[in-house]
């Protein structure tokens, strides 16, 4: 039934919740802290990581039988770096505006632990189609958390979503919306430490809903 077998579908659904790369494996935290001050940047980063991880997983999976184990990490690094550079160049040529929003984040993708982690843990041992699905799933799980964090940080920190003011006008003298009742933007939300706290809250909520995720000591 359907396009995917049950086992294949799990590759996509698992990383969204019970095996989420950020909240469960605690990977890719650095970029989640760096870029989530704006929702738009979070979304663009999620999409580009998805492209790089899915294609990279397929490439590594295709090469899995010929990669010498001694230099496999270097091979993985070369693959992800090459992909990121190509993605960057293509964006600059055909989607210049978007590439400007992305600029630094594209470079950050190379250092994303999730990508190397999936290459090492999954693509080296699985066939291309399954690796592709695994890449999509993990990038989606990563992107989901990024978008949740970006949503709260931009909303509470700047009072906007995707750049549109949703809480009213904060300019002194012409206050509207919530600001009229004394609400003020929380500048702390825009700083990286707050992203860590928001991620922490998400982890807390997730584990209190699903006790199976809590480890016993």
Residue 153 contacts another protein per CB under 8 A:
yes
Instruction: Compute the distance between CA of residue 214 and CA of residue 85 in angstroms, rounded to an integer.
Output: 39
Give min distance, CB of 121 to another protein, in A: 20
Our finding on whether 74 is near another protein (CB under 8 A) is yes
Q: Does residue number 94 form part of the binding site for another protein (CB under 8 A)?
A: yes
Query: In whole angstroms, how far apart are CA 61 and each of 53, 83, 133, 214?
Result: 12, 15, 12, 32
- Closest residue by Cα to residue 196 from 19, 46, 26: 26
Question: How many residues interact with another protein (rule CB under 8 A)?
Answer: 38
Nearer to another protein, 138 or 158 (CB): 158
190 contributes a contact to another protein by CB under 8 A: yes
| 90: contact with another protein by CB under 8 A | yes
Contact indicator for 134, 109 with CB cutoff of 8 Å: no
Taking only Cα atoms into account, the Rg of the chain, rounded to an integer number of angstroms, comes to 19
Give residues 27-56 in contact with another protein (rule: CB under 8 A). 35, 37-38, 41
What is the length of the chain?
217
Collapsing DSSP to helix, strand or coil, 165 comes out as: strand
Which range touches another protein (CB under 8 A), out of 67-75, 109-117, 121-129, 204-212? 67-75
The answer to the question of residue 217 lying near another protein (CB under 8 A) is: no
Stretch that binds another protein, among 2-10, 15-23, 114-122, 169-177 (CB under 8 A): 169-177
| Alpha-carbon gap, residue 160 to 163, rounded angstroms | 5
Closest Cα to residue 15, out of 43, 63, 48, 54? 54
Site string for another protein, 117-136 (x = CB under 8 A): --------------------
Applying CB under 8 A, the span of 5-13, 17-25, 112-120, 149-157 interacting with another protein comes to 149-157
Q: Where do we find the tokens 């990490």?
A: 73
What Cα–Cα distance (Å) separates residue 108 from each residue in 15, 126, 215?
A: 21, 26, 31
Q: Which residues bind another protein (CB under 8 A)?
A: 35, 37-38, 41, 65-71, 74-75, 78-79, 82, 85-86, 89-90, 92-94, 96, 103-104, 153-154, 157-158, 163, 165, 171-173, 187, 190-191
């Amino acid at each position: 039934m359907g396009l995917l077998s049950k086992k294949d579908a799990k590759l996509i659904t698992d990383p969204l919740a019970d095996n989420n790369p950020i909240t469960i494996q605690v990977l890719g935290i650095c970029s989640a802290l760096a870029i989530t001050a704006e929702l738009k940047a979070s979304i663009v980063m999620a999409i580009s990581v998805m492209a790089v991880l899915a294609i990279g997983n397929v490439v590594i999976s295709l090469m899995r039988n010929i990669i010498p184990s001694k230099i496999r990490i270097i091979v993985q690094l070369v693959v992800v770096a090459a992909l990121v550079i190509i993605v960057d160049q293509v964006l600059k040529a055909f989607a210049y505006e978007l590439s400007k929003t992305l600029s630094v984040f594209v470079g950050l993708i190379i250092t994303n632990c999730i990508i190397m982690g999936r290459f090492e843990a999954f693509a080296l041992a699985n066939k291309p189609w399954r690796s592709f699905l695994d890449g999509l799933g993990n990038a989606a799980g990563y992107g989901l958390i990024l978008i949740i964090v970006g949503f709260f940080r931009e909303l509470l920190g700047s009072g906007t979503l995707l750049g549109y003011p949703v809480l009213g006008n904060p300019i002194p003298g012409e206050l509207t919306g919530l600001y009229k009742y004394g609400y003020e933007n929380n500048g702390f939300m825009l700083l990286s430490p707050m992203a860590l706290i928001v991620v922490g809250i998400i982890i807390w909520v997730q584990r209190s809903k699903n006790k199976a995720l809590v480890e016993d000591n």
